[in-house]
């Protein structure tokens, strides 16, 4: 059958045709068999395989990932949490366990010297009146004086027992001391604040330090970060002390000790710390600030403040408050006692 120009082939013809067999479309796509297309195909396959096999921390088992995180410094753990949302969730979920491991491994001595204060909300309500009484607050004025470098704790938020007040002051001091290490290393004088003044820059710095301490109460990882920074501060302080030509070095610190990233060498015999650095001028002559312990020559080790000291302090505060109330004349209304 001859097909005229412009006429289309049909797959089937009408029954009324001249008896010819129906036409079937047998056209197929041309297959490309060239070396160039084959190379491109293999290249694309290889690229796709690499993409699926790319190394990814999140593809590791959780136990292995946590083991890797425990090898980091606290500051590195917090940086890791800011990489992406998934890693942030991992660090947040396992942060407490990781931080406790890091403290036991790296900062066990400093953790005993610098306990964390306790929120008032975490203290049994039966102690609240005693801790918030005006008489109690007056007793603590010597420890809550308006230091230039330490923000006073808020009694309605932080427990007002002596242990917690001193713990708050110490942690705020550590953050402030770490802030000025660069200038101390460069032998640059620290800014002088005139008596009776408190410039805006200092108010901002002290408030920022207090925010970090507040985070350390809520997060053990932030607490470990403060200990990490203070270990670095202690190393740098002793190095400056050595450069003065002194014949003895506190704790016999060696270069290996300084680079170890742990505080084990602080367990050696060294100077006792009794005085709180009450102003920044004392930073120049500070050897090493590690309070709340005393070296026993008989036992040849450091004896630390017991962990139960907080419980003893709040019991003493309650006992003192009740004795004080019993001595008040009966003609004073009971409602007034809460504010005493």
Token pair, residue 229, equals 């920074």
Q: Computed over its alpha carbons, how large is the radius of gyration of the chain?
A: 36
On whether the CB atoms of residues 295 and 302 are closer than 8 A, the answer is yes
> SS3 letters for 12-24?
CCCCCCCCCCCCC
For the chain, which residues make up each domain, given as ranges? Answer: 56-106, 113-190+199-312
pLDDT at 141: 78
∠ CA 96-98-103 to the nearest 5 degrees? Answer: 95
Question: Crossing angle of helices 62-69/85-106, nearest 10°?
Answer: 50
pLDDT at 338: 40
Token pair, residue 33, equals 């068999």
Tell the residue number behind the tokens 């990781």, with chain if given: 98
pLDDT at 215: 98
Other Cβ atoms within 10 Å of 238 Cβ, number: 20
CA dist 318 and 161 (Å) reads: 10
pLDDT at 296: 94
Instruction: Give the right CATH number for 56-106 from 1.20.1050, 1.20.1280, 1.10.3470, 3.40.50.
Output: 1.20.1280
pLDDT at 339: 41
pLDDT per residue over 94-140, tens digit each?
Answer: 999 999 999 999 999 999 999 999 999 999 999 999 999 888 888 87
* DSSP helix/strand/coil, 156: coil
What does the DSSP 8-state code read for residue 59? G
Q: Pick out the chain residues at pLDDT < 50.
A: 3, 9-13, 330, 332-340
* pTM check: above 0.75: yes
Tell the residue number behind the tokens 């047998």, with chain if given: 26
On whether the CB atoms of residues 287 and 156 are closer than 8 A, the answer is no
* DSSP helix/strand/coil, 106: helix
């Amino acid at each position: 059958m001859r097909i005229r120009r412009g006429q289309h082939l049909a797959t089937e013809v009408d029954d009324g045709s001249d008896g010819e067999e129906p036409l079937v479309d047998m056209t197929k796509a041309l297959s490309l068999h060239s070396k160039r297309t084959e190379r491109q195909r293999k290249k694309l396959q290889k690229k796709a395989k690499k993409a699926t096999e790319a190394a990814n921390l999140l593809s590791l088992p959780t136990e292995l990932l946590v083991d890797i995180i425990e090898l980091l410094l606290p500051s590195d753990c917090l940086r890791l949490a800011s990489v992406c949302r998934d890693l942030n969730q991992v660090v947040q979920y396992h942060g407490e366990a990781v931080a406790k491991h890091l403290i036991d491994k790296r900062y066990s001595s400093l953790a005993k010297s610098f306990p964390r204060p306790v929120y008032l909300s975490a203290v049994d309500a039966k102690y609240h009146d005693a801790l918030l009484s005006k008489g109690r607050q007056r007793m603590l004025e010597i420890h809550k004086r308006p230091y230039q470098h330490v923000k006073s704790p808020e009694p309605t938020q932080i427990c007002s027992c002596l242990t917690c007040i001193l713990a708050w002051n110490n942690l705020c001091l550590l953050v402030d001391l770490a802030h000025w290490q660069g200038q101390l290393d460069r032998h640059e004088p620290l800014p002088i604040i005139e008596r009776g003044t408190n410039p805006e820059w200092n108010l901002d710095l002290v408030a920022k330090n207090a925010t970090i301490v507040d985070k350390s109460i809520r997060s053990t990882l932030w607490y470990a970060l403060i200990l990490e920074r203070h270990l670095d501060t202690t190393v740098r302080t002793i190095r400056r002390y050595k450069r003065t030509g002194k014949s003895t070095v506190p704790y016999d610190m060696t270069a290996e000790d300084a680079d170890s990233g742990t505080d084990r060498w602080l367990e050696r015999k060294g100077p006792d710390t009794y005085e709180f650095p009450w102003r920044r001028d004392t930073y120049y002559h500070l050897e090493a600030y590690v309070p709340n312990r005393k070296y026993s020559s008989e036992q040849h080790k450091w004896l630390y403040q017991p962990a139960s000291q907080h419980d003893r302090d709040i019991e003493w505060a309650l006992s003192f408050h009740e004795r004080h109330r019993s001595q008040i004349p009966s003609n004073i209304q009971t409602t007034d006692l809460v504010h005493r």
